[in-house]
Structure formats: structure tokens, C-alpha cells
Chain A
């Protein structure tokens, strides 16, 4: 603040200070102090007794909570495995959890808490597009301290923007890729009248955009679209939306939403007599969706799960031919102990295995591979440097994973799965799925 500020009591700056509640003033002050502390000792911030702490903000409550829960469980399984085997390069890995309930504002506050209060080493495993999208500008703000967001559970296009190369590192493929694969697969079956049901937010728009672009590549346009509000429960009635979509007379519908919403939509869609293919994205959490639909099936006696294509960014967790799957299943079996207290509010029954936790497990492993290269100098700057030059790592999949920023980053493939006989199985094309 310049001298002239103190001379004139009517300067806006001081007016703001005067009118602001003391609490707010205090918070701003704390923020500033934290920043200073952070800048002064960035190396030591995230390191506490040979343990690297990573902050994870995700939906641990609300309709989307299964995503957060499962992703956290996967990561924890990997961390436990790594820590049990002497840590990553000697470093113990730990998670600090905060619940954002799939809300962008909460995610933002949590991030600030991680960076400034807990001084985590890096942010890890954020779940959801709208939440992560909101945190992105904050990462720019913390650019000076090299804060990085690692392996968020979202396929949003903007996270793959080149301008975020130095602070966001992805493991999973983008929704664009997923939707393109889906559209290509659907077109391959001769279905050209594709409609989209999507969440009315960034996530939904991303999926919608992917479908639109994929169709546009073939000179097509979607025949109908309908949106729903974020945070919808399974109990939501989507008959109106179904009606809107059916007006377009589609022969396939791609849903871009969360598990409860998608499950509810499928329920009403089938209820409306639509028997054709329905596709969902990986974020829809196939296992959770299956759980809803199975429950619904028990009520109505109908089979809701057939005719649904689940797009995934990881291989099927039951494919034991993969070393990663084997390690995952062992680690998940060993994952014990009480749930962290901040995850307590909602009752949640964890899946034994799931695509999401498997993705989390892979993310944990990938992180361990990176951390191993830190050696005795655990700074964020170095972390980023490692990300930029690390050779593709072997996570126990069929091919190595390139973690370096760029178009080829992370898991590039999209796996199409269907639910059959109580299990998810991967399919190469959708010809068999079609009824």
C-alpha cells in the first residue's frame, strides 16, 4: 500500500477495510501470512517426517459421493501398497481429504485450505468437472509456488488445455475421446440419429460438445438434446426429458451425467418404451449405476442394464490377465481400517471393486512412480520437472503410460463395457450389444 493511502482516509482500499467484517479482515490476513510462509519454505511445506501429504477434494457426500469414495479408496489402496513396500523412494504417501459435495465453491475453498493451511505437497484426485474447472484459475494464482493438480477424475477438455500443462497432470482420457469412441462405435452400428442427455454444466457441456464434434466430423447433428440439473437423485423424474428426446426419434442416446441421474434417466427411458442403445461416460460410475438399476430391477422386474454401453477409461477391473488388476485386487482386499472421520456424514457401502477405484489405484501407482524420482529433494518444482521428463511408466497394463504433458498424456484408450450376468465385460464393438 502506498503512502498516499494512509494520507487519504477516503481511498477505496481503506473503505473496504473499514466496512469489511473483522472476521473477513482476519481471514485475509491469515491468507497473506500463509502465502508468505509458503513462499518462504515451499520445499518444506509438504514434507512432514518423510511423508508427502496430498490434498484431495472430492464429493464425499451427496448423490455423486460414490465417485469420491471409490476414487479415494483406489488411491488409498495404492498408497497403502507403496507405503507397505518402503514408500516411494523412501517417501511415505498420505492423503488429506476434504469434502466438496460436487460443489465448485466448496472445492475452491478446500483447495485454498489445502494450500494455505495444510500446505499439502500437491493436489491429488479431484473429482468432477465443474469443481476442477473452478479450481483451475486458483492454480494459476498459486503458480509461483508450483502447486500442481494431479490426476483429477474428469475428462474435461479444458484440463487438457496446453496453458495448464505445468500445473495439471492427467492420467485419464478426455470426454472428447470417450464420446468420439462412443459415437464412432454407434455410427458403426448404423445408428445415425443420436440424441444427448446431459448434465447442465461444464461436464455435461463437454460431453455434449464431444458428441457434437464427433457427429459434425461425419456431417451429422444430434437429433435431440435435453439437460438436467446437477445434483439430481435417483428419485428424480425424467419423463419430461425422455419425452423431449424421443421427439427427435433417436436410435441411440448418449447420457453425460452422474450415476443416479443416468440410472434414473434409463429407468424412465425404458419406462417410456425406448429399447434402443443407451451409452454412458466413464464418469457415470458404471458400478454405482448398476447398483441403482439392479435395485430398480428388483422393484419392477425389468432388466434395465441390458442395452447400456458404459464407456471406460481403464480396462475392466476383472481382467486378471493384467498385472495391475491383480495388484489392485490384492491391495483392495488389504484396504482395511476405519473410514476417515470427514467421510462419515453419509452412509455409504463401498464397492468391492469398481472402475473408479481401479482408476484411483492406477493414479496412486503412477504418483508413486513419479515421487520415487524425487529422491532427497521433494520440492514441487522438482515434481513438475520430473513430470516433464519422466519416461513412460509401467503400471502393469498392457502398455506403458506416458505421464509427460502433451497430447499423448495418460491413458489414451477408451474401453467399451457392457453389463452382463452380474459382471462388466469389455467389448470391441457394439454389434453384439444391439438388440
Chain B
């Protein structure tokens, strides 16, 4: 078998190989031959051509010798077997044949003549001596010069082909032999192992498990051998096991047989095996039951031994052993006594036919027992019924319990659904995630926050990448969680699915199990992007002016502080602070409306920003005030240049709401910033400089200098003192009498404030009143003055009755009231209260106001003025004619008196009399008369003036001509002197 397989495989391989080798060698030889032939032909053609070309001339000359020389030379090259040259007549002129030109060649030459082709003719000829040649006939000059014939032996081609075949064959045979050897060894390796496997299988088949198969390798055969080995092992095991089983079964059978015999012998019931009416087997119990002698009745007739009735019952066709038939028959004992016997018959198929196996039982005693059992069963049934009742009761109770349980379960489910609903529908995102940072669950709101369609998507997406924009937030979150067990308002930036960045706030806690191990974290997440944005907006608003978007005071101060810091650190760092205020902004705002005002402010802010560099800070402090911080200046003149540019820019006319608006600004500059400690001080000085600029006129700038500083300091000191003076009574009042020059009597006083400073110097009101107005001291001051005036008025009016003839008309005390008061609606009530406290009638007081009151805030001033007039207070316009008085205002403000400024009065009736003044005074007087207003001339000092005033029709006057300002006591004395009725020592008006 082994040799057959091996031989067959080898034979097949070798045959295939040999066939292939033969085919390839034949083919390649053919190929080579064809190739060589074509190559030889090409070569022959080339040679023929070259000979033809070289012989052309010689042929024409008919010089056979030279032609021969030429062809000899070619012949010597060795490639050609012959060369032959034919002239145009067809005669052979030269050739290289020896001894003669073969007939074949002659024939060809003759053919060529007849064919007379112009091209070369190539053919293969077989010469007389058997050689085969490639014959080329090359015409010279297209045949007219003759022909050149050459022959090239084909032997080299055939030799090359043969050599190639032999080479190929020998090579192939060598390869074949090698392959055969290899194949033999290779196949022997396979078949040898198969053989040993087969032998092994035969041994196993012959139940010889002793030997093993030693074929071991990792290929298929190895696997086969391995499985055969294991199979053989299994078979051996099975055989051994089966034999063991068999022995065991035999033993068991023996035991069973023994025990069965014992059982048969020992059972109390009678056993009878009957077949065809004959006893096959019986046991001693049967004999005892039937009272028969103890002997073997096997083979005897059943009827004979046991009686007909029993035998009939036992022999009757019975059921199977599984369902034995049961009959009860009356049997007869050996002694003739009858007894009841129960026979169980079962048919057993035995080898000799069906045998009946019968168990016989004497049931005499059993019958008796049955009766007793009947009784006990009745008893039992009763007990059972009782028990059943009990059980049904318990059952009912259980049902009730079950129902209750169901109710509780429903409630739980409802609660679960409720919480689920909360979870699902919560606005906040709810999530659970593992300590490793993997999301366990999330609700739809969370998915919504992160821009996912469903929580599942979210969980999947966030498992692979952290939602946070900054990866370290997760670490921070987990650290915080481990530290505190919870995180609250953990705000971070996160990336939505769409890539949009949002702010989220997380509140989460750690969920631990009973052992304290972290199960997961759960919490809420909220999209706080809107809040964050609002916050940042608020922050921006806190530091910026909403109208212009410029930094506000706070931010400016901050920048300024930083600039100062920088200047402290770097000596070469210069900066300047500018303070700007728009001139007449208030007027524009009031007259053209806030809208235009706002647009103007925006325009100005734009201009400022445009003039400044990016490093500069332009801030708006509210109203029309701007501050500019110029940083990193190379020289002070940079700031000056900036100021000029700003002022130029601002002063350009502007069209707003269809109107041309022109504004200008005043600038205060602080250049020497090195000495300041506090930014506020720096700002203040810039402000001061600005005020100076404003004071110099509109549209200017002023650099803060030391003098200003001193002035400012001075002012400050003055302010402090003044404030103290107002509070502590450092001020005093004097009263300038007002005289009715027509009736020559005292009609009232003008209250004047006097302030003596701590250094003893008296400060005139023109100096400190503006200060007071500026610093707001004016409010307490004026109130104090008013209160004093009220008291004085009361004293004066009380003094009046003592003066005969004066009671008809009371004295009026005039009080100067700053224009500022007309901005506070409280004024009226305050004045009213003061008057009430002093118990002075309003008619006793009059308020002197400057014309400027009328222009500032016209509407409110008018209302206040009207209220004051309603109270009964008088209203007098001070220094009339110096301001931009508008007569319509005077009428509208229901003023009851005007005072002619002392400037005009001084121009009357003097050496340097001013005809203008006279005209003004006359006009005022005429006007006042027309409007029904009282006219008071101030500063009357000479009789001439008095005379003049009288002449003009002015009724009231005051001045040194009558009296200096008096103290209260002096005033009182004057009243007491009866001045109210008749001015003592009235100067006679007249001309000098």
C-alpha cells in the first residue's frame, strides 16, 4: 500500500514534469530558431546590400577581377557560404563557388532575371551537397547593374536550436531528478507516517491497546495521530468500563435472584405462579394459608391443590404486571374451612407462554379492619371540615393583606413615576457619573444643555471626551468632591455638541454605599451662560459710562493709579491728566433737549478718543465732564498739543437734529504728576486748572501750576473756615437801610453778611459768597442769614409800634438769596418754616435774587418764585441791568422790585457823568413804573445822585449817603429814632 501510493504520486509528478519540460524545450527551440532565422535573414540582407553597393561601379566597368576582390573580402568575413555576382546580361561575373556554381543557384539566377524585381529576394535553398542556405538576391541599381547573390549557411541556426534544446533538456532532466529525489523523500515522509497510522488503527481494531502510535508532528497527520491515540484511549476505557459493568450486573442479578427468593419465601402473602392451570411456583406462605403440608407442589394441577374457584381466578386472563386485576374469591382451606381471599393476578410473558403471577391474601382480618376504618374516616372528615373552615378564614385575611400590599405598590409606582417625571422634565440637567468620570445617566434637560438629541447620545459622547473646555476642570471637580463630598456652583466652561462654548454651573454630591465607598456622583447642571454674560455686562457697566461707552470715574481712577505706580517705578515714565468741561453744555441740553445733549456728548467723546492714542484713557465723569489720561509722554508739549487738537476738534460746528450746534470745552491739565500720592488729588488739581481756564474764557486750556495750587489751598482753607464760621457763628449780619427818598423815611434794610476770619481780616461777600456757592456752604449760610433776618425783622417790627407814625407800614428786610436755591424745591418749605418759627409775616421779608436765577432752570425757578410770592415774600432783582435781563422774565417771575446796580448810579451826576447811565436809569425807572415795580437805587453816595434819582422818579435808594451798613443795634436805634417815619438828618438833594 505504501509503495503504491508513493509510486503513483511520484509517477504522476514525474510524468507531468517531463511533459512540461519537453514542451517548453521544444517551444523555446522553435522560438530560438525562428528568431535566429529572422536575424540571419536580416544579416544576409544587410551583407548583400553592402556588397551590392560596393560593387555597383565595378559591375558597370565589367571588371571581374575587382569584383572578385570585393567579394573575396566579404567572403573572408566567414559568415557567408557563397557570393555570386551577375552582370546586367545575366552572366556570372564573379563567384566564390568551388569548383562550380551549383545548379540550384543557377536556376535561381535565371529566375531572378525573369522576375526582374527591384527589391531583394530572400529564400531558402538546399544546395546539391545537402546544405541549406539562406539565399539573398540583391539587385544592383534595381537589376540594371546586375545582381548580387549571397548564400548564408543555416547550419549555425540549426546547431543553435539543437544546442538550446539539449541545454534545456539536460537542465530540465537535472531539475527533474532533483525534484524526484525530493518528492520521494517528501512523500515518504507522508506515506510512511500514514502507514504507521494504519497499522496502529488495525491494532486498535484488534483490541490491542498495548501499543501506541509514535507519529508526532504538528501537521494534519500529527493531528490525526493525536486524535487516533485519544480515540484508542477512549475505546480502551469504554471496553474496560463495559466489562466492569457486565461483571457488576451479573453479581447484582445474582443478588437480586437470591433476595427475590428470600422475599418470595418470606412474604406473608401467598405467591402463586400459574401457567396453563399448572403451578409453576409457590411459596410457603401459600401453603400455610391453605393449610397444606409443606411440600413442593410445582407442576401439579392448580385445581387439585387449591380448589376450582381459586384456580379459575388465578388462571383467568389477567392484565399486565403494571395493572394487575384484583379479584376476591372464597377459598377452601385444607381442613375444609372457607375463607375470603384476595387475589392479585398479573400476566407475565415467559418463555413457555403467558404465566399468571398471583398474590393471594387472606382478607378475613382485613375485612374486619375495614369496618373500623370506616368509622375513623367519618371522624376524620369532620375534623377536615373544621380545618377547612379555619383555612378559608386565614385565606380571606391573606387576600386582604395582598390587596393592601397592592395599594402600597401602586403608591410606590406612582412615586417612582413622579420622580421619573421630575427627572425627565426638570429644567436643570441631572446626571450621575462614576468616580472614573464616566457618565452613567443624564436627563433630557442635560442633553439639551449640551446640545444632544437624547440622554443616551450625551452619555455616549461624554464617555469618550470630557465636556469641559479645560480638561483640568474635571480633576478639580473630582478633587473637590473627594475633599468635601459635594460641590456647589462649580462653574466651568463647556463645549456643546455644536462646538459652541457655554458656561455651566454644577451642583453635585457624592453617593456612597453603606461601607462608605463611592458609588457615583449625582447632581444638577445648569446653563449659566446668560447669567455669566449678564455678569460680564454688569462688570462692564460698572466701569463704563453707558452713554458713551467710555470708562467711568472708577475705571479712570484705577488706570490713573496704575499710571502713578508705573511712574514711581520708572523715572522716565511721564503722564498727564486732563480735565475737560464743555462750555454752555447746560444751555444746549436745556434748550435743544437731552437727546441732542446726549448726541453732543457722544460726539465729544468720539473726538476725544480720536485725538488720543490707544494707550490713553478717555473717561466721562458724568454730565459734560471728561477726564483724559495721557500715558507715556515724551515731553509736556505732547499734552499741550493734544489739548489744542481737542479744543479745535470740539469747537467745530456740528449739525445735530437739524440745527447747527457749536460748543467748546475748557481744559485743565496737570503735567507735573510726580508729587501726587493720591489720584483723587491729581484729578482735583486738573479740575482746578480747568476752572481757571474757564475763568479765563471759553475754549481754553490751562496748565495747573503752583500758584493755582496755592490759590486752591487758600480757597480750601477758606472753605474750611467758612464752613466752621457758618456752623459756629463766625459770621455776622449788618443791615443797610433802604430809604423812601420821596417820603424821606426808612422802609427797610438789606441784610449783608460779614465774615471776619480767624486772622482778623474781614472778608467781603464778593470773595466768599462764590466760594460758598461753589462748595455748597451757601445753603446753610443763606438759611442762617434768612433765619437771622427773620429774627431781625421781628425785632424791628416790634420796635416799630413804639415809633409813632410808623405802624402803618412795616419795615421789609431784604435777604440775598443765591441762585442755587432756586434749584431745590425744598427752599419754599424751609423758608416758610423759618418764618413760622420766628413768627414773622412773610410781608416783612423780601428775597433779593440775581438775574442769573432767571436763566438757570427757568421752569423750576419760575415755579419756586411763584410759590414764594404766594407766601407773601417779596422778590427783588439785584443788580438789575448788569446781566442778560429779559423783561419778559421779570414780568413772568412776578417780581415786585428791582435794584439799579450801583454802577449805573455812580454814573449819575458826577463830574464824569455818563449819559448812558442816566438813560439806563431813566429807562429802568420808567419801565418799573410801567410794570408797577418798585425801583431801588443802590450805592447812592452823593446828594447830586439823590437829586437826580428824585428827578428821574426813582422812589427808593440806599447807600452811604444815608447810612453805612449798620449792626442790628444801630439799626434798632435808627428805628427807634423814628427813621421809619421820618429819616433823621435827611441829606438834602442838590447839586454840588
Residues of A within 8 A of B (CB): 104-105, 129-130, 133-134, 156-158, 200-202, 204-206, 208-209, 212, 225-229, 238, 240-241, 244
Contacts and interface: CB of A to CB of B under 8 A. Distances in A.
7 cross-chain pairs, A with B, having the tightest CB-CB distances, nearest first: A205-B68, A209-B64, A206-B65, A226-B99, A241-B99, A202-B69, A227-B98
Nearest to B92: A225
Given A130-B72, A158-B69, A205 B99 contact: no
A226 B95 CA distance: 11
The residue in A156, A205, A225, A229 that gathers the most chain B C-beta atoms within 10 A of its C-beta is A205
A209 B64 CA distance: 6
Interface in B61-115: 63-69, 72-73, 76, 94-100
Given A133-B69, A201-B72, A206 B99 contact: no
Contacts of B72: 104, 130, 201-202
Contacts of A228: 98-99
A173 B18 CA distance: 72
A91 B95 CA distance: 46
A206 B64 contact: yes
Contact of A205 (B65, B76, B100): B65
B64 A244 contact: no
Contact of B76 (A104, A133, A156, A209): A104
Q: Size class of B's contact patch? A: 10 to 19
Given A201-B72, A205-B94, A244 B100 contact: yes
B68 A157 contact: no
B332 to A, nearest CB: 143
B69 A229 contact: no
A208 B64 contact: yes
A84 to B, nearest CB: 40
Nearest to A204: B68
Contacts of A156: 65
B102 to A, nearest CB: 11
Contacts of B69: 130, 133-134, 158, 202, 205
Contacts of A229: 98
A202 B99 contact: no
Nearest to B96: A200
A240 B99 contact: yes
A283 to B, nearest CB: 13
A268 B11 CA distance: 65
B99 A227 contact: yes
Contacts, number: 63
Nearest to A209: B64
Nearest to B82: A200
A244 B95 CA distance: 16
A134 B67 CA distance: 13
Nearest to B94: A205
A177 B76 CA distance: 29
A420 to B, nearest CB: 31
B71 to A, nearest CB: 9
A134 B66 CA distance: 11
A227 B100 contact: yes
A280 to B, nearest CB: 17
Nearest to A132: B69
Contacts of A238: 99
Interface string B407-438: 00000000000000000000000000000000
Contact of A227 (B63, B64, B76, B97): B97
30 contacts: A104-B72, A104-B76, A105-B76, A129-B65, A134-B73, A157-B63, A157-B65, A158-B63, A158-B66, A158-B69, A200-B97, A201-B68, A202-B66, A202-B68, A205-B65, A205-B69, A205-B94, A206-B64, A208-B64, A209-B63, A209-B65, A212-B64, A225-B100, A227-B95, A227-B98, A228-B98, A228-B99, A238-B99, A241-B100, A244-B99
Contacts of A226: 98-100
Given A200-B97, A202-B72, A206-B64, 18 more contacts: A104-B73, A105-B76, A130-B69, A134-B69, A157-B63, A158-B63, A205-B68, A205-B69, A209-B63, A225-B100, A227-B97, A227-B98, A227-B99, A228-B98, A229-B98, A238-B99, A241-B99, A244-B100
A201 B95 CA distance: 9
Contacts of B68: 201-202, 204-206
A275 B807 CA distance: 214
Contacts of B64: 205-206, 208-209, 212
B339 to A, nearest CB: 141
Contacts of A200: 95-98
A133 B95 CA distance: 17
B602 to A, nearest CB: 82
B492 to A, nearest CB: 74
A87 B133 CA distance: 59
A241 B100 CA distance: 8
A227 B64 CA distance: 15
A228 B69 CA distance: 16
Interface in B300-333: none
Contacts of B96: 200
A228 B96 CA distance: 9
A202 B100 contact: no
A202 B98 contact: no
Interface in B611-628: none
B597 to A, nearest CB: 91
A208 B95 CA distance: 12
Nearest to A105: B76
A10 B784 CA distance: 124
B90 to A, nearest CB: 13
Given A105-B76, A201-B72, A158 B65 contact: yes
A202 B100 CA distance: 16
Nearest to A230: B72
A200 B99 CA distance: 8
A201 B70 CA distance: 10
A208 B99 CA distance: 14
Contacts of B94: 205
B59 to A, nearest CB: 13
A225 B92 CA distance: 11
Contacts of A105: 76
Contacts of B98: 200, 226-229
Contacts of A204: 68
A23 to B, nearest CB: 22
Interface string B30-58: 00000000000000000000000000000
Nearest to A205: B68
A148 B94 CA distance: 29
A252 to B, nearest CB: 18
Interface string B524-535: 000000000000
Nearest to A157: B65
Contacts of A133: 65, 69
A129 to B, nearest CB: 8
Nearest to A229: B98
A146 to B, nearest CB: 24
A152 to B, nearest CB: 14
A274 B73 CA distance: 35
The residue in B67, B72, B97 that gathers the most chain A C-beta atoms within 10 A of its C-beta is B72
A130 B75 CA distance: 13
A129 B100 CA distance: 21
Contacts of B99: 226-228, 238, 240-241, 244
Interface in B625-642: none
Contacts of B73: 104, 134
Contacts of A202: 65-66, 68-69, 72
A208 B64 CA distance: 8
Contacts of A227: 95, 97-100
Contacts of A241: 99-100
A244 B98 CA distance: 11
B211 to A, nearest CB: 75
Nearest to A225: B100
A38 B571 CA distance: 102
Contacts of B100: 225-227, 241, 244
Interface in B529-562: none
A132 B76 CA distance: 16
